[in-house]
């Protein structure tokens, strides 16, 4: 229990450029995705899905990004765009498939996709890896998304970059808890 508390109290993102091989093997990745999908999910809708980018498929995904970037802005650094999926050895897109439902608000379905992202980050750490949750412009460009296999009604909640950390990140500022925490008190009548 203490281990989990320490982990949660000290967890830091490792930037994708500092994530290297080795990355999880197939069976480990399957287990990580199973853990990621074990989130609170009102109505058991499972309103999310995964797209895995590994090996040479990461370069192909980078080509999709670069060709869209070049078409939209010829000044863009195409090397950078091509490398979007090759910084870390493994990238998993968490895709929100949320939509209107008779009982479950769409907002709750979207929140659940965020929970999947964080659970996947935690799962990566649990297996000895590190991760970074990124969106960048590519999560919001419908042409890039179409090229990556994301359907028009879907959204990318996060691209989770996973690998073995090559550095130990230093602490960063955290919120002033007193500034963001209040205690409810009923208004005097
Ligand atoms: C939905 C979402 C999208 C994010 N997208 C980016 C991004 O595009 N670029 C970036 O530098 N950080 C992004 N971040 C922030 C990093 O994942 C990370 O939280 C941040 O670097 C702070 O590190 P920490 O997790 O150690 O607090 C995003 C976070 C969330 C929740």
pLDDT of 107 reads 98
Task: Classify 63 as helix, strand or coil.
Answer: helix
Q: Which atom of ligand 1 is nearest to 15's Cα? A: 21
Q: What is the pLDDT of residue 131?
A: 98
For residue 147, the model assigns a pLDDT of 98
* Ligand 1 atom closest to Cα of residue 114: 1
User: Which residue has the least CA distance to atom 9 on ligand 1?
Assistant: 134
- Per-residue confidence (pLDDT) for residue 2, from 0 to 100: 81
Rounded Cα gap, residues 141 and 117, in angstroms: 20
Residue with CA nearest ligand 1 atom 17: 133
The predicted pLDDT at position 1 comes to 72
Q: At what angle do helices 106-126 and 26-36 cross, to 10 degrees?
A: 140
Q: What residues are in contact with ligand 1 under a 6 Å CB criterion?
A: 12-13, 132-136, 158
What is residue 78's DSSP assignment?
Answer: H
Distance in angstroms between the alpha carbons of the first and the last residue of the chain: 45
**Bridge pairing between strands 19-20 and 48-54:** unpaired
Q: Cβ contacts of residue 148 below 8 Å, gap of 6+? A: 51, 61, 64, 93
**What confidence score (pLDDT) does residue 189 get?**
86
**Domain spanning 15-164: CATH superfamily:** NADH Oxidase (3.40.109.10)
Q: How far is CA 51 from CA 37, 111, 177, in A?
A: 13, 19, 36
Q: What is the mean pLDDT of each run of 10 residues along the chain (189 residues)?
A: 92 98 97 98 98 98 98 95 98 98 98 98 98 98 98 98 96 97 95
Rounded to an integer, what distance in angstroms lies between the CA atom of residue 87 and that of residue 80?
10
Output the six-digit token pair for 40: 């609170």
Which residue has the least CA distance to atom 14 on ligand 1?
134
CA-157 nearest atom, ligand 1: 1
- Using DSSP's 3-state secondary structure scheme, residue 161 falls into strand
The residue whose CA is least distant from atom 22 of ligand 1 is 13
């Amino acid at each position: 229990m203490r281990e989990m508390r320490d982990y949660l109290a000290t967890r830091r993102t490792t930037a994708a450029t500092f994530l290297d091989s080795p990355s999880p093997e197939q069976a480990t990745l399957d287990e990580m995705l199973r853990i990621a999908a074990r989130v609170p999910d009102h109505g058991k809708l499972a309103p999310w899905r995964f797209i895995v980018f590994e090996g040479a498929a990461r370069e192909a995904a980078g080509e999709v990004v670069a060709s869209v970037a070049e078409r939209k802005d010829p000044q863009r650094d195409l090397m950078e765009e091509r490398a979007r999926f090759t910084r870390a050895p493994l990238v998993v897109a968490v895709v929100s498939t949320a939509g209107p439902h008779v009982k479950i608000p769409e907002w709750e379905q979207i929140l659940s996709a965020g929970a999947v992202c964080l659970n996947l980050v935690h799962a990566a750490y649990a297996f000895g890896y590190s991760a970074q949750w990124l969106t960048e412009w590519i999560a919001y460009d419908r042409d890039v998304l179409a090229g990556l296999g994301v359907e028009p009604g879907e959204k990318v909640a996060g691209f989770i970059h996973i690998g073995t950390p090559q550095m130990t990140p230093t602490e960063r500022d955290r919120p002033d808890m007193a500034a963001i925490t209040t205690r409810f008190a009923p208004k005097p009548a």
